[in-house]
Structure 1
């Protein structure tokens, strides 16, 4: 976290030589089409880059009855249909999306002289790399997560395919952004990326207000004290650890109830586990919730637990901390860079239900300390992770990338042909 402190110190100030850019942003999901945290990140970043005066164009996939173009909060959003829109094979669908994105971007480039391409993860890597060569402009990539990290290694053909796509995007990018020191170490060790090519800029979050009454949304929680967790319901988020903790709590007659929100492929599996183990009195999965419902559930909880086994950053940690809730997180990935144990939150051993219960017990039995931790957590998130600050740092990296590319191009033009061959 100290590295993030030093990198962001003063970065929100606009430099005297600041100039605006025309930015082509590629991301497969964008609000209101939300699959995971990627869409929220790109939305927050693009809106605040636009507020700084940049001309931002986001290329994304069309979904439902959404228009093919609209200006949202100052951002030009272009939605395209994948070439093979109804293909059930995800990799084929992604391939068709990249073809459609590349075609649309070339159309836009006939009227707009873009300065830089900003790609978000391997899902848009193929189009981004092609556009870099076609438009002759630099490519900036934000690597939000890796297939290696999600699966603790590469074990299947599909994982190998994605891993190679990530490698290609990292190799072809002129500059890379990651969200934490942890992710920088991953790119160094797994992909052999060079340090001078990587910038660390954390995810951001907006100040939030809780305007809904939890009991009105979820009447079953009336007068119920509960511990809250949220995330995409997949194995790497560590919700099995909460299920195990609930089982231990039931066995030891510990009075605690877990409420978990989110959607994902493991949701029904986890619900069946709860039924089979008769844990309904200690844990519930409420499924998908809106942002407003999420904020209400956080505000109504005693504390929050984010038990991820793999988490490059952990935007959900910011979501609980900014509402002043004492938060327990796994001592792994980017989360351990956000939370300072017993100061802005608590750390638990990843995958260890006993460790989780130990931290929960401490917070419940030390309410004044828990309140202090919640307040300090909120302060640190507000100071360090506001989107205006994150956008300012990203803007600086973009400007440097554009300038470096031009200097390199000019140098090549000035080099005699006989020296180029050498």
Structure 2
């Protein structure tokens, strides 16, 4: 039986004559694991001008089960087996709980579109597509093959199969770059016209008046120049390249140092490697930082760097660019579609510490050029990657899919 808050929100939404859409995601702010939650948050904010947006997501703790924030309806569920330490069992329980909630919501709402984000919510998406007779659009943010440069283990095979089932069962698939489109076409053998390429978006942040006040406890070195990076501590992010490059930076620039923020399974391994190479005084891995600290570090740094081996898009590169800081990015994947070398950023060769050091030197030794590149990157980010623009492109996919569904129903 639905609680009073849920009932009130559902009743209030009846007065809204906008078409309704349901977005499925396993993470949504304030529950942030990776970049997916920020993507869905930004997209929902852009779509709410045209749709009544409902988010169905996991409840990681004691968050409200249903609330309306900034005009967006958020419904949170706990997995049926939320204490199960096996992640795949946990995901299965999450999808079952999401299916139950979607069925409950459908008694109050007629959803025009279901929009799933990655395989983690794929089972729910495929199930409610059939039960609600509603078009399913799926955004594939990354693939298991791409993350691991192949499929090797039973777990990877399982995830790859789930991705395949979701992609083939969806009415339309969205990817964030031409690079990702080619990867999906190659791995899953679907028709090219079934895939739409829509970039990630970025919101312009209000600059902090006193960023220093937010950095207490972090390894900030006064009077020295900061090179900043952030991401999940996994192999594909390429942070091992920065550790190897730290010795070059240390020898050449006594006033430069690196902070690489983020959490993940390789955090302790990176810290250990930095210590073994005797560069732990110049490259620091503080672990998790909050969003305000993240913004403060982007404001404070001289350079941002993203040395990924695999990056379908690279939203963190946009976060650096939107603050006006010059970004060095790997010449790979979706990053190639964001940056124009020596105009809106600089390219480095993936996995090559000398290439990174060369590009960093070009910026550290030419502050005026670095400032120009930062400002040009900022203009690119603001003009091409606003969430309003991304939402408009997504809306076109939604409308085309809705029309196709209605035509099929007439046949």
Q: TM-score range by the shorter chain?
A: over 0.9
RMSD: 1.4
Match of 2:74 in 1: 77
CA distance in 1, matches of 2:229, 2:209: 18
User: How is 1:12-411 mapped onto 2 (pairs within 5 angstroms)?
Assistant: 20-50=18-48, 52-211=49-208, 213-218=210-215, 220-250=220-250, 255-411=255-411
> Does the 8 A contact of 1:176 with 1:199 survive in 2?
yes
> Which has the higher relative contact order, 1 or 2, with Cα contacts under 8 A spaced 6 or more apart?
1
> Does the 8 A contact of 2:215 with 2:296 survive in 1?
no
CA distance in 1, matches of 2:51, 2:298: 34
Query: C-alpha offsets along residues 71-112 of structure 1, whole Å, 9 cap, x if unaligned?
Result: 111111000111111000000100010001011101111121
CA distance in 1, matches of 2:72, 2:214: 32
CA distance in 2, matches of 1:351, 1:157: 27
User: What TM-score comes out, normalization by structure 2 length?
Assistant: 0.93
Unaligned runs of 5+ in 2: 1-16
Aligned residues: 392
CA distance in 2, matches of 1:366, 1:224: 16
> Does the 8 A contact of 1:215 with 1:221 survive in 2?
no
Displacement of 1:255 in angstroms is 4.9
> Does the 8 A contact of 1:214 with 1:296 survive in 2?
yes
CA distance in 1, matches of 2:254, 2:54: 52
CA distance in 1, matches of 2:147, 2:113: 29
User: What TM-score comes out, normalization by structure 1 length?
Assistant: 0.90
Query: C-alpha offsets along residues 23-49 of structure 1, whole Å, 9 cap, x if unaligned?
Result: 011000011000000001101111221
CA distance in 1, matches of 2:399, 2:410: 17
| Secondary structure in structure 2 of the residue aligned to 1:150 | helix
Query: C-alpha offsets along residues 199-238 of structure 1, whole Å, 9 cap, x if unaligned?
Result: 1110111111231534333353322211111111111100
Displacement of 1:276 in angstroms is 2.4
Displacement of 1:393 in angstroms is 1.1
Unaligned runs of 5+ in 1: 1-18, 412-422
> Does the 8 A contact of 1:324 with 1:375 survive in 2?
yes
| Secondary structure in structure 2 of the residue aligned to 1:115 | strand
> Does the 8 A contact of 1:85 with 1:96 survive in 2?
yes
